[in-house]
Amino acid sequence: MDNNVFTYCIIIFLSTLLGGFIAIAPKWSDEYLHLFLSFGAGIFLGMVFLHLLPEVLVHNHDPILSIMVLAGFMFIFIVERILFISSDGGGYDHSHKIISLTAMLGLSVHSIIGGVGLAVGSVDQNLGWLIFISIISHKIPASFALISLFVLGKFSKKRIWLFLLLFSLMTPLGALAFAPIVKLAGSLTVEILTAFTAGTFLYVATADILPEVFHTREKRWIKLLLLIVGIFVISFIDFWDIRVGGH
């Protein structure tokens, strides 16, 4: 790994920690956490429809990619609803814990893919810089949304910090460990993994976070506004990436 990529990984690691720290440090009430989750749902939906799906489907119409989106959706459904949830439902906090873990699974896969892209981009300094900007711009809001889920799930602070540390390491791990494999396998491998990730994000946003956020009518208009703001944040980031990257 060259010095630029190593520096990028350190900055991404610290930025991810910062996003999670904002969610952990104050003692937020459940009411505020649900408002944050509205924003987080917008982040997830924006990443699916404005970032991940266009990335894999605009230039490649291979049917396997659509199948992998569905596979990602069904994988999280099976893991969450069939394998993890007990017959008695496990209670309110238990369901939040499952949502948190499945969200982390999807975001971790996406982060590893980002790390792979970062390492592949090291062959071209300008390309590597653009990939770094794209990754870093998503990290703080995504980390904040994820850790808000863990806080709402009533995990201990020690465990939340552990999950945050693990999540923060995913992109550097992708850059270090998986880049040589994907370079040999070709770009379709990255597109397949990205499509799978899109399916996991789609499930977490529509089947987990949105029903949780809007299960009461309290502050529903504020929640809707924050949902739209989350989508707008991703659309702005991607628009800026396109303008800077020229693609």
* Total-model pTM: 0.71
At residue 20, the pLDDT reads: 93
How many domains does the chain fold into? 1
Task: Determine the Cα–Cα distance for residues 168 and 15; give it in Å rounded to an integer.
Answer: 8
HSE-CB at 61 with a 13 A cutoff on CA atoms is 0
Termini Cα distance of the chain: 26
Q: What is the pLDDT along the chain (247 residues), one digit of tens a residue?
A: 567 778 889 999 999 999 999 888 877 777 887 888 888 888 889 888 988 888 788 777 888 999 999 998 998 888 777 766 544 445 555 677 888 888 898 888 888 878 877 776 665 566 567 678 768 877 888 898 899 889 888 899 999 999 999 999 999 998 888 666 656 666 677 788 788 888 888 888 888 788 878 887 888 999 999 999 989 988 887 777 655 555 5
Residue bearing tokens 């590893």: 112
User: Range of 126's domain?
Assistant: 3-245
What single-letter amino acid sits at 235? S
The confidence score (pLDDT) of residue 85 equals 55
Residue 88 is predicted with a pLDDT of: 44
Cβ contacts of 103 within 8 Å, gap of 6 or more: 44, 145, 146, 149, 204, 208, 209
